[in-house]
Structure 1
Amino acid sequence: MTKLDHAFAQIDGHDLDPDADFSLPGWIYADPEFAQLEIDRIFRPSWQIVCHVSEVANAGDYQTIEYAGESVVVIRGDDGQVRAFTNACRHRAMRLVEGPAGCAKKLVCPYHAWVYETDGRLTGVPMKGEYPALKLEDNGLAPVALEIWHGFIFVRLEDAGFPSVAEMMAPFEAEVSQYRFADLRPMAPVRLRPRDVNWKNVGDNYSDNLHIPVAHDGLTRLVGKTYKIEAHGWADRLTGDVIKNDKQNFWEKVYGAHMPRVDHLPEAAHGRWLYYKLWPNMAFDIYADQIDFMQWIPTGPTTCILREVAYCLPDDRREMKAVRYANWRINRNVNAEDTWLISRVQQGMASKSYGTGPIAKSEVCLRSFAKKIRALIPEARQPFAPTKGWSREGLERVRASV
């Protein structure tokens, strides 16, 4: 059994986690060495959502994503196939495209005008005879693994054994299928929001159930005591059912009172706020009126960027427009409350007095996430930071033992 296989066995519950009753330590929310190990062991091998197939509907349409030190472009070829490549010319590594989206018949390097087809082939090189070692067939764009799940496009930089998106979401296939993800269309372009917090703080807060009645008055008025969380291996499921009461504000009442009938959804789904958090940093917020995705991408040990897009099925009914606006008003407040919370937690993590904290049995999603992190980076079991240079010393010990 390889080290990675053993880590997965721990994650799957075959080995008991001796630290199960404790949170992840504060130092790993700011440590540069730990952050680099996360890039190598978590983010490069994990699937990351890029866009929906409807956003690359025509030949040459492309979308980009930047993470883990890479820029990836997803583009639809002239043959109709969607592919992904690293956004770097094979000559001098120049970025081929800029911005989050666009359309191009060919990808032409703005540095030296090398030309690539939409399927990644290199077909044009000015002064080609000046390059003795050049073989066009060996210098196409570097491919990136791609998976399309219910119309959403995901990419992965490396394969280290993490499950596919379909495998992560397999326990919820019947539920997800009701929402017709493949038919969705974006409501607006992708939005990027920088945050001065470690990426794990965003994810921890997303799946934390105990803070809802304490810190989210509006959400509590909307769903009452119906809010529940479940951990399912590589994906978490969170739900709350909209209720009606006199304490709700105007927009909360609008949402509960005016949701129109959506014929393809069962009655229970009309008032259900359904959330899925996928390993390691993605989430779908699913409502009868729209579907949002959000991912929190690390940009440094104490910074990240939130990448968000809202999608919906075409529906021009006035009631649906009103409900979607009410949804935005409600969640705008929830997001502002969460931003305040995670920023204060990040500040607290910097205290040398904080090691790990006790974790409740009901915090099943936090327990599941912490177990994965500890399995993949065992130093996360240490309550306080090791001596600077610890990650390099550990690698040298491993090499010496081989």
Structure 2
Amino acid sequence: MPRDTPLQAQYYTQPDWFEIDKEKIFFRTWQCVCHVSEIADPGDFKTFTIVDEDIFVIREPDGGINAFYNICRHRGHPLVEGTGKGKRVLVCPYHAWTYEINGRLRRAPGSVESDGLTCDQINLRKIRVEEFCGFVFVNLDENASAMAPDLDEYKQNLLSFHPDPTQLKFVCETEIAHDSNWKLSVENYNECYHCPTVHASSLTHGVLEMDGYTTVPRGKTIWHDGKAQTKNEKQYDYDITASPRADDYGAYWIFPNVSMCCYPGGYFTIRQFLPVAWNKTIYRYRWFSSGDIADEDVIALMRKHKETTGAEDEVVVSKIQKGMQSRAFEPGPYVIGDGCGAMSEVGLRHFHNLYRDALGEAG
């Protein structure tokens, strides 16, 4: 399929393509697990699922972070669940095989020398891990390039909103189930062409000014920038004097499925589009504040967003998924317009080209 043309329906509607996405996209890209504060102390851990691979990250005694596949090396039982604090060792709930925080096997109950079991030679399967802008990312590809070097400009822009993102405070999270392929959820996020119709009473009324809103592709990222709307009644109680950029909106997406979103007033979210099946995606919002916003205000905004913009997007992506499964569907051309304004699909086109690159398709 030539570059700069929309993806055909098969990429969204055929289960075989989902298996390709899993292997070539999600098992080879950096995935956001949590904020550093959520595993602040030695032995603190958090689990995460990348499609159908369960992993966990854990803080070492020296302050470093380890990431492992969440399976015992004996019979594959999960070692940990959810989130936990202060683990000194990792004990499998099945046969009590016990591992150090660094992944090395400490003991296997009942084993004898003739079993040929040598603790020094058995370790949990380690995963690449990196901290970026206060968040912990992992990559299942042992040969993947480091994440941070390609995102220096991105990082500097984010720091203009939050000078020390390691100090952000996690407040709450919510999930919205999308009955759609993950790519449809990402595409819907990366264009505002639909905003005046789908979000006429939520996002474009009392949150953002559409005049001056831009969507700009940059490498493996897409930057959305806008200004807080102040001339009408506001949808939530944001203070545009709270910080130098408190009247700005910035949503900065990183291929393939994560975005760091800075709301007017200093609210902050990590948004993730987590693939479950070829026609199922979880849209996860994790909400943070810099500490000067009351938790109840953050929670109120989370609920409002889920009931308005979030609910509106949930409906349209499911309808698009169904439409793409029609025998009559053929994708129409991109509407590029001025190239970066609110009514442009330049972000959609950029995502499609990044996707093709990741699959190794010739342009």
Q: Is the shorter-chain TM-score for this pair beyond 0.5, marking a shared fold? A: yes
* Contact 1:168/1:278 (<8 A) preserved: no
Match of 1:169 in 2: 151
Match of 1:118 in 2: 101
SS of residue in 2 equivalent to 1:219: coil
Matched, 1:106 2:89: yes
How far residue 165 of structure 1 moved from its aligned partner, in angstroms, is 3.2
Percent of matched pairs sharing the same residue: 30
Partners of 2:359 and 2:157 in 1: CA distance: 33
SS of residue in 2 equivalent to 1:270: coil
How far residue 286 of structure 1 moved from its aligned partner, in angstroms, is 1.0
Matched, 1:312 2:297: no
Partners of 1:240 and 1:68 in 2: CA distance: 32
How far residue 150 of structure 1 moved from its aligned partner, in angstroms, is 1.7
How far residue 62 of structure 1 moved from its aligned partner, in angstroms, is 0.4
User: Do the aligned partners of residues 223 and 306 (structure 1) sit closer, same or farther apart at CA in structure 2, a change above 3 Å counting?
Assistant: closer
TM-score w.r.t. the length of structure 1 is: 0.81
How far residue 330 of structure 1 moved from its aligned partner, in angstroms, is 4.8
Partners of 2:359 and 2:240 in 1: CA distance: 48
Partners of 2:3 and 2:143 in 1: CA distance: 25
2:276 aligns with one of 283, 294, 299: 299
How far residue 356 of structure 1 moved from its aligned partner, in angstroms, is 2.6
Query: Which range moved further: 330-339 or 113-122?
Result: 330-339
User: Do the aligned partners of residues 378 and 125 (structure 1) sit closer, same or farther apart at CA in structure 2, a change above 3 Å counting?
Assistant: closer
* Contact 2:25/2:359 (<8 A) preserved: no
SS of residue in 2 equivalent to 1:203: helix
Matched, 1:141 2:127: no
Partners of 1:297 and 1:336 in 2: CA distance: 17
CA RMSD of aligned residues (A): 2.4
Structure 2 residues not aligned, in runs of 5+: 337-343
User: Do the aligned partners of residues 339 and 312 (structure 1) sit closer, same or farther apart at CA in structure 2, a change above 3 Å counting?
Assistant: same
Aligned residues: 350
Q: Aligned AA for 2:253?
A: K
How far residue 160 of structure 1 moved from its aligned partner, in angstroms, is 5.3
Q: Deviations 1:254-294 (Å, cap 9, x if unpaired)?
A: 53xx50643xx42xx11111101111011111124221111
1:271 aligns with one of 243, 247, 254: 247
Query: Which range moved further: 29-38 or 308-317?
Result: 308-317
Query: Which range moved further: 81-90 or 326-335?
Result: 326-335
User: Do the aligned partners of residues 195 and 322 (structure 1) sit closer, same or farther apart at CA in structure 2, a change above 3 Å counting?
Assistant: closer
The runs of at least 4 consecutive aligned structure 1 residues that moved more than 6 Å come to 378-381
Match of 1:231 in 2: 217
Matched, 1:365 2:347: yes
Partners of 1:138 and 1:55 in 2: CA distance: 31
* Contact 1:24/1:380 (<8 A) preserved: no
Structure 1 residues not aligned, in runs of 5+: 1-16, 382-402
Match of 1:185 in 2: 169
Partners of 1:172 and 1:379 in 2: CA distance: 27
How far residue 128 of structure 1 moved from its aligned partner, in angstroms, is 2.2
Compare CA radii of gyration and give the structure with the larger one.
1
Match of 1:341 in 2: 316
User: Do the aligned partners of residues 223 and 158 (structure 1) sit closer, same or farther apart at CA in structure 2, a change above 3 Å counting?
Assistant: same
* Contact 1:78/1:119 (<8 A) preserved: no
* Contact 1:27/1:355 (<8 A) preserved: no
